[in-house]
Structure 1
């Protein structure tokens, strides 16, 4: 409803809704106004309006989850809800290689990958999976975390390293025709994909409004970096630049290359911790006989 109002109404017609400050968060009208602020932020509207700023500050005092998001779109969010002709989902190795520089496959990466230890963290995994669950993607995402016995060279952070990790998404790698591939990407690319996962929604799911899609994307982004949600967003952006971000794909029963497949690996600045997030919108029962 908030998204529709922002698209259909002028700011001058929306602004009077924020004159009276809320006493609590239980009123559905308060939730609608919180979402309105979120939608306005995504289109760069309402910043500096006294009534809107006061309402946003009050939501923060009451502990509303959307209140931790800035009232303006950050540069790292520049692609949120923006469609670029010719840049749809990356479904093939050719598309992946044409858009991103390939990370080399090295023997050293394979050696370090075999020594990685599983660092299970259910809370962190749930946060990382939020955009895909909210968007109703067909299958449960895989969110995994690993620690390394020694710092990993950036040159060794590639597909040969990832293939040695005990990942469900790579089970049976090589059973389908094709070669697994990893490419270097950027923090804004990953964040945009997390936003789009819930904003657009899965094939059989439902897209979320921009306000909560933005929140889920940031929660997932923080989880991938192993960062507490109390860290300010601009500080998180600064720290993200010190991480190494990869996209990868393979030819397994997980990656179908026909709807939406996403897989990321993130190396922290110490080069001793790795997070992996893989999601697919392909129905797990699609290929099974009726």
Structure 2
């Protein structure tokens, strides 16, 4: 059966949307047969460049629903045959299912699932790089706490994170920082926001210092001396810029949430791929090689110094979603900055 057999619905429903609705309904129905039919139907969508965006949305949605609705033994029955190639849409659905199972700590230690995951690694599937269970640093992924939404105001920032006061020495050192452009690394660091359609291109910048920076001087006085677009015009509006100390689990959770929830001009990526984009971004911010094992990356992150910052400029609108982080490496000589906003600047100015 081909995708074109669905045609266009009376209300202009595209073939991909029709397939997606059918597959989602099957995935939500607890039954081994429905689980298999959901994967088969999602596999009708092409995996190539044509229609990839809608196809990816459907495959990731179906995988999320299957893991939430189906029993593990019924999902396990989907993995009896090992894949031969990665361009099969049905294989992609299964890869996403394994990624979703990892998010809830399920599936590892089951021979059939382990064999399939190993085959995906051999074939080079991007999701197969991730750990088969959630790491401690990922404990906040997908967790919603009542009353704790996006940080929009300085008072909210101060209430959640310890503020770091400015120092005189910080401004002096900040003026000596030398930018180290790296477009490829910047693009990877921005992934969680670009793939999910945040309204503005994130700002990602890298700087090198002549000597080690005292962690006490890694504060807003230092940040304000960097040539950052997000801080242009700072001081000309009511309200002051500030920095607060944070930790890597907060940073990676924000990266995951950006990719998983989607921006105002885009859509969420599904938990499995949101996790991948979050880790890709974190590795890029720290300047780590892709093949560094995750436990070592976590240890490296613990030795870094992490900041959140906020200001009153054209960049920070304080009404939808603004995030801004800076990280100082363990040797205290390299700084990376990431700032993103989901507010359409053209709609305000």
Instruction: State the TM bucket, normalised to the shorter chain.
Output: over 0.9
2:226 paired with 1:165: yes
C-alpha separation in 2, matches of 1:104 and 1:177: 19
User: Shift of the alpha carbon at 1:204?
Assistant: 2.7
Match of 1:272 in 2: 333
Which residue matches 1:8?
A: 69
| 1:175 aligned residue | 236
Aligned match of 2:197: 136
Where has structure 1 moved over 6 Å in runs of 4 or more? none
Work out the CA distance in 2 between the residues paired with 1:44 and 1:200.
21
Partner residue in 1 for 2:113: 52
The residue that corresponds to 1:98 in the other structure is: 159
Q: Which residue of 1 aligns with 2:288?
A: 227
Where do 5+ consecutive residues of structure 2 fail to align?
1-61
In 1, Cα distance between equivalents of 2:191 and 2:98: 21
Task: Say yes or no: does 1:203 pair with 2:264.
Answer: yes
How far does the alpha carbon of each residue in 1:183-204 deviate from its partner, in whole angstroms, 9 at most, with x for none? 0000000000000001001123
Higher relative contact order (CA 8 A, sep 6+): 1
For 1:207 and 1:46, the matched residues in 2 are separated by: 24
- Deviations along 1:12-43, whole A, 9 cap, x unmatched? 11101111111111111111111000001101
Q: Identify the match of residue 254 of structure 2 among 185, 190, 193.
A: 193
For 1:237 and 1:18, the matched residues in 2 are separated by 31
Counterpart of 2:82 in structure 1 is 21
Equivalent residue number for residue 279 of structure 2: 218
Equivalent residue number for residue 122 of structure 1: 183
Question: How far apart are the structure 2 equivalents of 1:99 and 1:193?
Answer: 14
- TM superposition shift of 1:134: 1.2
Q: Which deviations, in whole Å up to 9, do the C-alpha atoms of 1:241-289 show, x marking residues without a partner?
A: 000000000000000000000000000011010000000000021113x
Residue ranges of structure 1 left out of the alignment (5+ in a row): none
Partners of 2:166 and 2:65 lie apart in 1 by 47
CA distance, structure 1, for counterparts of residue 71 and residue 145 of structure 2: 26
Please point out which of 85, 88, 111 is paired with 2:149: 88
SS at match of 1:248: strand
Report SS of the residue matched to 1:67: helix
Structure showing greater Rg: 2
2:8 alignment counterpart: none
Q: Whole-Å Cα distance in 2 between the matches of residues 151 and 185 of structure 1?
A: 20
In the aligned structure 2, how far is the partner of 1:59 from the partner of 1:94? 46
The structural deviation recorded for 1:115 is 0.2
CA distance in 2 between counterparts of 1:76 and 1:176 reads 37
* Distance of 2:80 and 2:235 partners within structure 1: 61
Higher helix share: 2
Deviation at 1:175, TM superposition (A): 2.2
CA distance in 1, matches of 2:322, 2:293: 30
Deviation per CA, 1:95-115, whole angstroms, max 9, x where unpaired?
101111111201111000000
Q: Secondary structure at the match of 1:39?
A: helix
SS in 2 for 1:285: helix
Deviation track 1:60-110 (CA, whole Å, cap 9, x = no partner) reads 011111111011011000000111112111100001011111112011110
TM norm structure 2: 0.82
SS of residue matched to 2:164: coil
Which residue of the partner structure matches residue 31 of structure 1? 92
Q: 1-side partners of 2:197 and 2:165: how far apart?
A: 34
